[in-house]
Structure 1
């Protein structure tokens, strides 16, 4: 499967930044493969670092947006019928539903940092008819740091870009939890200012 995705990525490379966005629109294409490879293309001088991060972040929103639309317009019946094509299992749905019930709309952000929830969390957001712009905003906020780290790791590792996933796994909590907490603090502060 990975070899097939890498072949696809060579075709997407010809589309430059749009190719990165397009690849990430398909939920079955793992970001941990696409983004470090994009970083390697930056290393090779084929792309700009910030351009690759921006394209990856946009693509990281487009993929979840398809699942959001599936939840919003198809409901749970459509998920049970078509979820397997997006590699969504029943246990993913159950975890995502519980997470959504507990945290409400902010799950579009928080859920991206929780293994077993991050892919399927878009679906309950759609079923609950969460405001689509709010969903996009929170998803982008979550995807930006993840994308930046993966692309930068691919760029730093150069020809050894395939080790990025392993490195990310080792240091993800140290990197992402402080970023997530800082963004949550900003959101809470903004809400308090609006409430005054």
Structure 2
């Protein structure tokens, strides 16, 4: 057990990268709104640099989002229909994301990253509706950076506040 804990500690930044990459692909089953504050608490407890962990988590999220965009630009219609038909609970979110994509185009990548249920499908919608790749990267990266900074900071500073004696 001690070896496992030591291995996890030694590879914690890689683990964060993998989790955030998979979260951007919607494969973790745990939403970013849960993962990122936990990363903030981790930063405070681990002694790692806030900036370094934030950069790793953000890079992973951006790369995961780009991967999802590229896959969805190739197979987007199939993916959209699969989720829509196989998981009826996603229909409302998918419909909302589609409406936003049609209304805002590339700007949805920035705006949508701030809306918890919509952000899940931004890369999918961007690929399906063929948002220009350069615009997708710019707007999506800005949105990811803002979202990550806010949520990681909430965990980081929330933990500090929780340990203070008032």
Is the contact made by 1:23 and 1:29 (CA closer than 8 Å) also made in structure 2? no
Are 1:67 and 2:68 an aligned pair? yes
Change in 2 beyond 3 A, CA 1:104/1:22: same
Change in 2 beyond 3 A, CA 1:87/1:108: farther
Are 1:146 and 2:130 an aligned pair? no
Change in 2 beyond 3 A, CA 1:121/1:49: same
TM-score, with normalisation over the residues of structure 2?
A: 0.75
Gaps in structure 1 of 5+ consecutive residues:
1-9, 162-196
User: Which stretch of structure 1 is more off in the superposition, 59-68 or 42-51?
Assistant: 59-68
Hey, what's the Cα distance between the residues in 1 that align with 2:141 and 2:110? 8
Corresponding residue number in structure 2 for 1:190: none
Hey, what's the Cα distance between the residues in 2 that align with 1:42 and 1:56? 11
Q: Secondary structure at the match of 1:117?
A: helix
Corresponding residue number in structure 2 for 1:18: 14
Is the contact made by 1:12 and 1:20 (CA closer than 8 Å) also made in structure 2? no
Corresponding residue number in structure 1 for 2:30: 29
Corresponding residue number in structure 2 for 1:52: 53
Is the contact made by 2:21 and 2:60 (CA closer than 8 Å) also made in structure 1? yes
Corresponding residue number in structure 1 for 2:97: 96
Shift of 1:76: 1.3
Aligned residues: 152
**In angstroms, what is the RMSD of aligned CA positions?**
3.0
Are 1:124 and 2:125 an aligned pair? yes
Is the contact made by 1:13 and 1:20 (CA closer than 8 Å) also made in structure 2? no
Is the contact made by 1:109 and 1:141 (CA closer than 8 Å) also made in structure 2? yes
Q: After TM superposition, where is structure 1 displaced by more than 6 Å over at least 4 residues in a row? A: 83-88
Gaps in structure 2 of 5+ consecutive residues:
1-5
TM-score, with normalisation over the residues of structure 1?
A: 0.65
Corresponding residue number in structure 1 for 2:80: 79
Shift of 1:103: 0.8
Q: Secondary structure at the match of 2:156?
A: helix
Q: What per-residue deviation string (whole Å, max 9, x for no partner) do you get for residues 147-186 of structure 1?
A: 112222222233888xxxxxxxxxxxxxxxxxxxxxxxxx
Q: What per-residue deviation string (whole Å, max 9, x for no partner) do you get for residues 123-155 of structure 1?
A: 121012223232122111011122112222222
